Amino acid sequence: MSSIGPYAAGGFYRPSLANALSSSRSQLDDLLVQLSTGKKSQDYAGLGDGAATSLAMRAKIAALDSYTANNATVKTRVSLMSKSVERLDDLAAEYRTLDPNEYMLTSGSMTIAQNQAATDLKEVIATLNVDLNGRYLFSGRATDTRPVISSEAMLSDDGDKDGLRTVIAERKLADLGADGRGRIDVSDVSGSTFTVGQEASGPFGFKISSVSSTLKNGVASGPAGSSNQITLGVTGDTEAGGQVRIGLTLPDGTTKEITLTAKAADHEAGLQDGEFRIGATPEETAANMRAAFDAELKTAASTDLVAASAMQAGEEFFNTPAGSEPARVSGFDGSYATDAERIAALQSASSLDTTDTAGKTVSWYVGEKAADDPRKTAAATVDQGVTVGYGARADETGARRVVQTLAVFTAMSFSADDANGQARYSALASRVSTTLGSTDTTQDLQSISVDLASTATAIKAADNRHSAARAIAETAIGSVEDASKEEVAAKILALQTQLQASYQVTASLSQLSLVNYI
C-alpha cells in the first residue's frame, strides 16, 4: 500500500521527516551536553569564528602562567636576600652601644665582647652564604659557589697563604717601627729645644699633622719639610698650666692628640700622663718636656696606633675589588735566614706591595669578582619587555665592612699582664663601634635593600598586570566558549516542543493508508 506523497522518504525536493527528526534529536543532544558542561562545543571546530579568539587568549594565559611561576621564584629569592641584608644592618647597629671601657678577659685572650663578635661573625658569614635550592644568592654570577669562607679559615694561615692575623701582625711591626715610637724620631735636647719628625715618605706609623702651644716662652713650630718636623721647647722661664698639643694622624685616618702640660717645680702630687715639671733652667724644662712627650708617644703607639694599624690591615686584607690584589707590607715574603731578620725588614719597610700578593694571601670572598653592577649579575623578565636585576655579591661595601670589622675585632688578642692592654682594647673597640654604627655602613646596606625593594615592587606591579590581563583573557574565552544555561534551556524547551509535535504528526501519518484516506 502506498504512503502519502509529500511524506515519502525519498521524495525529490521534499524534506525527509526521518532526517528532520534525526537532526532535531542531534540538536537536542548537543544542547543537553552544553547544559551539562557549560561549553558551547567540545572542540575548537564547533566554535566557528570564535576558535581563533579562544586559541589566542589561551596562549596569552599560558604566557602569563610562565611569568607568574618565574616571578614567584624570584620573589622568594629577593625576599630571602632582603631579610639577610636587614639582619646585617640590625647586627651592625648592635655595636653602636659597644662599651670600649668594659675590659673583662675571659678564659684566653679575648674579652666578652670579642667572643660575642666571633659568634656574630659566624652568623654574618652564614647569612651571606645563604642559598635557595642550591643557588647562592650573594655570589654574583657564580651561583654554585659558596661566596665567603669560614671565619677560622679567614683568620688563620693556609699553607703558603697568610690569614688575617698574620697580615695584622706584619702591619703592626711596620707601623710601630723598631723602637716602638710609631716611626717617629725624637731628637735629644739641644740647648732648650728638641725636634720631632716622622720617617720619610711611606704609609706606616704616625704622621705629624699639627702643633700648638699656650706655654709662656714656649717653642712650637712646624710641621715643615718632608718629615713634617716640629720643634718643641722653651726660650726662657715658663709658667705652670701652659700646654703644648701635637696632632698625629694614624694609618686608618683617625687622629690622636698628645697634650703636654707644664707643672710647677714644687708640684707635690705625682705627675700624670702628659705632665712635666718646670725645671730650674730652660734646658731642664725642655728635657722634662721631651721625656713626657716620649712617654706619651710610646703609649699612643702601643694603644691607638696598634688599634689603627689593625683596622687598616683589615682594610687592605678585605677591600680588594676585582682586578686588585691585597696590599701587604713590602718584604713580607722575602727570604730571611732568621725570624729576627724578617722582623727587622718589616719594621723598616717603607711601602706596600700589591704585586702577586693574591697568591700569598687568604681570599675571604671566593664568589664572582667583577667591577660591574652587582644587581646585573642576576636578571629576570617579569613581564613582556620588563626585566629586573636582583643579583648581589658578598664583597659589596656594606656587607664587606661588617665582615671586615668583626673579623679584625675577633683577631686581636690581649693579656692581663699587659699594662697598656685595656687602653689598646678601648682604642680598638671605639673604632669597631664607630665603623659598624656609622651612617656609612647603614647607608651602604640600605642601598642594597632599596635596590631589592625596587625589584620586589616591580614584580608586584607585573603580577597585578598579569592578574588584570588574565581576567580579560578569561572573559574573552568565556564569551566564545561558554554557553548560557538560560539560553540553552530555552532552546531545549523549544526543541522538545517541536519534537513532541513532530512525533505526534509522525504517529498520525503512520496510521494513514489510501483506503483510510478515501
Condensed to tens digits (0 to 9), the pLDDT of residues 437-473 reads 999 999 999 999 999 999 999 999 999 999 999 898 8
Which pLDDT tens digit goes with each residue over 224-261?
A: 999 999 999 999 999 999 999 999 999 999 999 999 99
Which set of grid coordinates corresponds to residue 463?
603580577
**How far, in Å, are 1, 24, 403, 489 from residue 494 at the CA level?**
35, 11, 81, 9
Cβ-in-10-Å burial (0-12, 13-18, 19+) of 200 comes to: exposed
Fill in the amino acid letter for 179.
D
pLDDT at 56: 83
Q: At a CB cut-off of 8 Å and minimum separation 6, what does 161 contact?
A: 359, 360, 361, 362
The Cα 213–Cα 235 span in angstroms is 13
pLDDT at 487: 62
Cβ pair 187, 329 in contact under 8 A: no
pLDDT at 8: 46
Question: Pairing state of beta strands 255-263 and 275-277?
Answer: parallel
Parts of the chain with a pLDDT under 70: 1-50, 478-479, 481-493, 495-496, 498-518
The Cα 136–Cα 439 span in angstroms is 28
pLDDT at 238: 96
DSSP secondary structure letter of residue 225 = T
Q: Is 276 helix (H, G, I), strand (E, B) or coil?
A: strand
* 39 DSSP β-pair partners: 482
DSSP 32-54: HHHHHH-BS-SSGGGGTTHHHHH
Positive/negative CA dihedral, 365, 371, 375, 378: negative
Quickly tell me which residue has 716662652 as its cell. Answer: 217
Which pLDDT tens digit goes with each residue over 162-213?
A: 999 999 999 999 999 999 999 999 999 999 999 999 987 799 999 999 999 9
pLDDT at 5: 47
Q: Give the distance, in angstroms, between the CA of residue 123 and the centroid of all CA atoms in the same chain.
A: 14
pLDDT at 497: 72
- The candidate with the shortest Cα–Cα distance to 382, out of 167, 74, 50, 154, is 74
The Cα 203–Cα 250 span in angstroms is 10
Number of CB atoms found within 10 A of residue 145's CB: 13
Each domain of the chain, given as residue ranges in start order, spans 5-64+466-517, 86-177+314-459, 184-298
Quickly tell me which residue has 636576600 as its cell. Answer: 81
Domain 184-298 top-level CATH class: mainly beta
Cβ-in-10-Å burial (0-12, 13-18, 19+) of 181 comes to: buried
